[in-house]
Amino acid sequence: MALLRFAVGRLKGHNESPMMEIKFHNTLTGKTEPFVPLHPAEVRAYTCGPTVHDFAHVGNFRTFVFQDILRRYLKSKGFRVVQVMNLTDVDDRIIQKAAAAGVSIREYTDKYIQAYLEDRHTLSLEPPEFVARATEHIDDMVKLIQRLTEKGFTYTSDGSIYFRISKFPAYGKLSKIDVSGIKAGARVDMDRYDKDNVRDFALWKAPKPGEHFWETPIGPGRPGWHIECSAMAMKYLGDTIDIHSGGVDLAFPHHENEIAQSEAATGKPFARYWLHAEHLLVDHEKMSKSVGNIATLRELFAEGHKPSSVRYLLASVPYRRQLNFTPDSLQSAANAVDRLRNFVSRLKSEKFPPGQSPKLSSRAGKAREDFDRGLADDLNTAVAVAAIFDLVRDVNTMIDGGEFRNGDVAPVLAALEAFDGIFAVLSDDDAEKLQAVGLTQAAPAPQDAEIEALVAERQAARKRKDFTTSDRIRDQLAQRGIIIEDTRDGGVRWKRK
C-alpha cells in the first residue's frame, strides 16, 4: 500500500479527536467492558496456536484472522503489541501419527509448521513477536509443575502427575461449569475432553511403551497439552497478561486448565481479558473432522479462490458471530475486494477538476469515525466495512455528478488506507502470494452478473473519457477469458473465449 502513504498527512485533523473507548467482550466476566492494558501503551497477548498434526483448516484460520485483526487494530490505536503464539508440536494425536508414519515427532511436525507459516503469509497475518514450539520449552513446563507440586496442587499416579482441581476453588470460572459433583481423585488422561468429563487433568504423562519421552527431574514422560500454554505465556509475557484469545471450543477444558495451573502457581490473575472467536460453519454445520466438511486453505486456492477473498470473508464477519462459509459467500467477498481495488484505481487514474469540495472533507471524516466506532465496539468489523462501502458509494456518486475535486482524493485514500491497515486486502498480490508457496491458479470463471457489472463500469469510464480505467477493465476481463467488442452504435458486446 505504498501508493496510499502520501495521503496520511492530510488527514491529521481527524486523528486528533478524543480516542474512542475500546471495548471487548470478556468471557471471564461475561460482559463487554472497556479495554485498559496493565501497562500503559503496551498490550501483552497470548494466542493459542495450532496443533501441528495436519494442515490447518479454514475454521482454524477464522480464529487466526480474528487475532490478526485484533493486533492490527491495537497497533493502529498506538499500542505496542507483544504477542506470543505457541505451536503445539507434541500431544496425543501427534505422538500417534508420528509413530504411525515411522518418523520422529520433530520430523513429523516440521512439515506442518512450515505449511502453517506459509498459510499465514498468504492470508497476510502479521507474525507474532514470539512463536514458541512446545518441545523447546519442556524445561519451563517441568519447572512450573515443580512449583505446583511444592504448593500441594498435584499428585502422582502411575508415574503421571495430575492437577488436583479441588485445591483450586476458582476452577470453572471461565467456562462457568459446575464442578460440585466431581469425585476427588477422578482423573482424565486425554488432552482433549468435554464438559461431561471434568476431572483432575494430566500435567505430565508417564511414557507408554514405544512412545517418545523426555528424561526430566520430575521423571520420564511428556507434558500434557494444557501446561505448555501456561508455561510459555508466563515465560514471555509475565505472570499476568492482558489478552488471551482462541477459538470458543478452547474455553473448556484448555483455557480453564491454563487458568488453574497459572494462578495456582503465582497467586495472581493469569489473563485479564479472554476473547473467544465463534465457530465457522459450512452449510450451517461446524467444520470438523467428524462431519467431514473440512477445507484447507490450499484446497480453496486450488479451487480458484484468492487469498484476499478468504481473508476478507473471515475478517468481515464479527468474531463473536458464527460465520457460514459457502462458495457464494466467498464469491461475494471476492466481488467486494474487487470493488474496493477498482475504486482505489479509479481515484488514482482519473483526472478531477482542481480544488476541494467542502462536502467531501466532512464525508471522509465521518467514514473514518464510523469505521473506528465499529472496531472500538468489540471489533465489529461488519460496521467498519459498511462505513467504507458507504463512503465508496457516496464518492462514486459525487464523481459521476462532477462534484468531486482533485483535492478530495487524498482524504478518501487516507480512509481506505486506514481500512487496509486492518483488513489488508487492497494490494493486488494474490498471485504472488500463491506463487511464493508453490501454487499457481487460474482465476475462477466469472459469472454473467459480474461480467455485466464490469462491462457497465467500463462503458461509464469510456463515456467520461477515462481510458486508463476502461483499458484496465478490458485487460482484467481478457485475463479471465472474456472478450469485449465495441459496436458501431457505441454499444458493447462480450463473449467468452
Smallest gap from residue 255 Cβ to Zn ion (A): 7
CB of 244 to Zn ion, least distance (A): 8
Distance in angstroms (rounded) separating the CA atoms of residues 66 and 393: 27
| Closest among 127, 128, 134, 126 to 52, alpha carbons compared | 134
Write the binding mask 330 to 369 for Zn ion: x where contact by CB under 5 A, - elsewhere. Answer: ----------------------------------------
Binding mask 19-58 for Zn ion (x = CB under 5 A): -----------------------------x----------
Cβ proximity to Zn ion: between 48 and 82 the closer is 48
CB of 423 to Zn ion, least distance (A): 26
Comparing CB distances to Zn ion, the nearer of 48 and 385 is 48
* Residue for grid cell 461475561: 30
Q: Between residues 241 and 376, which has the closer beta carbon with respect to Zn ion?
A: 241
As measured in angstroms, the least distance from the Cβ of 250 to Zn ion is: 6
Name 131's bridge partners. Answer: 85
Rank residues 85 and 482 by Cβ distance to Zn ion and give the closer one: 85
Q: What is the dihedral of CA 42, 46, 52, 55, to 10 degrees?
A: -70
Q: Hey, how many other C-beta atoms are within 10 angstroms of the C-beta on 77?
A: 17
Total interface residues for Zn ion by CB under 5 A? 2
What lies within 8 Å, CB to CB, of 245 at 6+ separation is 45, 46, 47, 48, 63, 66, 67, 70, 274, 275, 276, 277
Rule CB under 5 A: is residue 85 a binding residue for Zn ion?
no
CA distances from 405 to 354, 361, 401 (A): 6, 11, 11
C-beta of 230: minimal distance to Zn ion in Å? 8
Smaller CB separation from Zn ion, 131 or 281: 131
Cα dihedral 485→487→491→497 (10° resolution): -20
To Zn ion, the closest distance from the beta carbon of 456 in angstroms equals 50
Please work out, in degrees rounded to the nearest 5, the angle formed at the alpha carbon of residue 127 by the alpha carbons of 228 and 371: 115
CB of 195 to Zn ion, least distance (A): 18
Nearer to Zn ion, 85 or 98 (CB): 85
Would you say 272 or 368 has its CB closer to Zn ion? 272
Count of positions (residues) in the chain:
497
205 vs 458, beta carbon nearer Zn ion: 205
Q: Which of 48/275 has CB closer to Zn ion?
A: 48
- Minimum distance from residue 308 beta carbon to Zn ion (Å): 29
Q: Which is nearer to Zn ion, 227 or 336 (CB)?
A: 227
Nearest approach in angstroms of CB 406 to Zn ion is: 52
Q: Site residues for Zn ion, window 222-251 (CB under 5 A)?
A: 229
CB of 93 to Zn ion, least distance (A): 15
Residues that bind Zn ion (CB under 5 A): 48, 229
